[in-house]
Structure 1
């Protein structure tokens, strides 16, 4: 199947020119007050690019450390800010694209087309991040209608960009309305596969804010050693035994420890769900007497999000059982 996206002209564009070589991370802040930009003035360690507010959004602000990232070109558009740079510690060409997508289907398809053209023509790796205003499947939306057609457009865009949707730890959804009736996973990281060669343990994390609207998300690399504790256990009485026997015993230690951890985690999960149900029932009773209480409704939103996250973990656990 051919590429369904046709590139088109996008508004805006600014080339900030070349800068001296450095390396590192980029820090993305979205919907910040303009006063923050003023605070950056005169600070040689940071540069920024800003796309002004459009509609109800607060705009897009990208900030990077000039001691860590050597930027070559910055493009500013209505719906994204892109930074082409060199990650000098690795000698890696990288393009960061910070996205705040529009609501309309046509506008989003135009945005996907423009970004796709940028990604496929860039010689290095790409990191796309932000609010894509779209979900990939029905499981990423709760309490609102799932549009399979727009999800297909979005999935096609990800596929043609040859990118990976980075798994996010933490809460299942990244956005909710103030009443706790609608939840969606709108914010994410998309990376091209070349980045995985340099950062094989890269992952994302959704931060809990206990407030409605969007959750912050961060991208990290954190290698996890699942077996070090079990493997370091001494095998008493087997010092002079066949190495294969010792190896078998270590595997048995690992299996036993994983069973204990799994059983404990499931029990904690079950108890936490029961506790949340009790709290939600109590809040529902209070809201019947005081339906206008904003504080009670915000507390209910927080509890519902926690419960949705726990249900998601239970579904993952059940899926793994079926596979096994």
Structure 2
């Protein structure tokens, strides 16, 4: 069954079986990238103690499926806390925590402040970093589209981010009834020296090709100049200034567009919660979330490149 998910034989897996109505946990990893030392199965979580082959980093992968009751969740947080406190290496905790951190992460169901406080205390006690999620706000919804929650996330130790400083996570479109998959990746690119800073996301933006062509064709330089290299540098400076103006206007428009899209999603969610949704309304919601996700993706690509540039400057 694990191989049917993975597609080849280059993997190992660990699992915790389902219990009563509660589902189980299945973790699969590429043996060429992750060399595991030990696997342990606990109540509510599975631990793979391993070495990330390419970096030599010792990592504890902790896959969680939290129970419903507060008392059981509190025991789970204690068990994970004790494991991390007594282990070496960095940690990444992932899965269904069955808990939210604040009221904004839940819609259509009651928010329990005390339960959220216990969860936040667990995160803060280990100085864990909650990796921000791009895309849709919620990772879970009931089959009627009346309740929404952010139950799934990635929590990492601060040392993990030192090795992978460009981490980002994206909530993807749903492909199973009540859950959205989340993709965690590090977008690291060596951009190398360039004549001036240019963001790769610009090539995916409408109007960028036009502003470059039109500016280059219409830029005016001193008619007394005869040196081709000087003329080229003058035209390049003019182009840079125009691109800066265009980029500033574009992101102002993008921010405004994202807010408008989110404002359109909110009333749809309210109608779905009140069981007034139709198939057309749900399709409209999916389309709006896709546009938000596309905007978030472009912003994350820029953030990754900015981090790379800053890292290069510090190193230099």
Give the alignment's TM-score, normalised by structure 1.
0.68
Which of residues 165, 185, 196 in structure 1 aligns to 2:130? Answer: 165
Counterpart in 2 of 1:10? none
Which of residues 207, 210, 215 in structure 1 aligns to 2:180? Answer: 215
Question: As a proportion of its length, which structure holds more helix?
Answer: 2
Once the two structures are superposed, the pairs formed by residues 16-35 of structure 1 within 5 Å of their partners are: none
Counterpart in 1 of 2:99? 134
Counterpart in 2 of 1:22? none
Query: Separation in 2 of the partners of 1:99 and 1:189?
Result: 10
Counterpart in 2 of 1:68? 33
Task: Note closer, same or farther for the CA distance 1:209–1:119 as it changes in structure 2 (3 Å cut).
Answer: same
Once the two structures are superposed, the pairs formed by residues 242-253 of structure 1 within 5 Å of their partners are: 252-253=241-242
1:32-69 CA distance string (max 9 Å, x none): xxxx147589x752211110112323310011122221
1:255-311 CA distance string (max 9 Å, x none): 412233125425654775798799x69x99xx98xxxxxxx7566455457668989
Which of residues 244, 247, 265 in structure 1 aligns to 2:254? Answer: 265
Once the two structures are superposed, the pairs formed by residues 283-322 of structure 1 within 5 Å of their partners are: 297=278, 300-301=281-282, 303-304=284-285
Counterpart in 1 of 2:160? 195
Counterpart in 2 of 1:18? none
Query: Separation in 2 of the partners of 1:197 and 1:101?
Result: 28
Q: Which runs of 5+ in 1 are unaligned?
A: 1-35, 289-295, 318-324
Superposition deviation, residue 170 in structure 1: 1.2
Counterpart in 2 of 1:125? 90
Query: Separation in 2 of the partners of 1:182 and 1:50?
Result: 29
Counterpart in 2 of 1:146? 111
Which of residues 44, 60, 69 in structure 2 aligns to 1:104? Answer: 69
Superposition deviation, residue 247 in structure 1: 11
Query: Separation in 2 of the partners of 1:277 and 1:51?
Result: 37
Superposition deviation, residue 91 in structure 1: 1.0
Q: Which runs of 5+ in 2 are unaligned?
A: 203-211, 223-228, 300-316
Superposition RMSD in Å: 4.2
- Mapped contact 1:168–1:206 kept (Cα < 8 A): yes
Query: Separation in 2 of the partners of 1:80 and 1:274?
Result: 37
Count of aligned positions: 266
Query: Separation in 2 of the partners of 1:120 and 1:261?
Result: 47
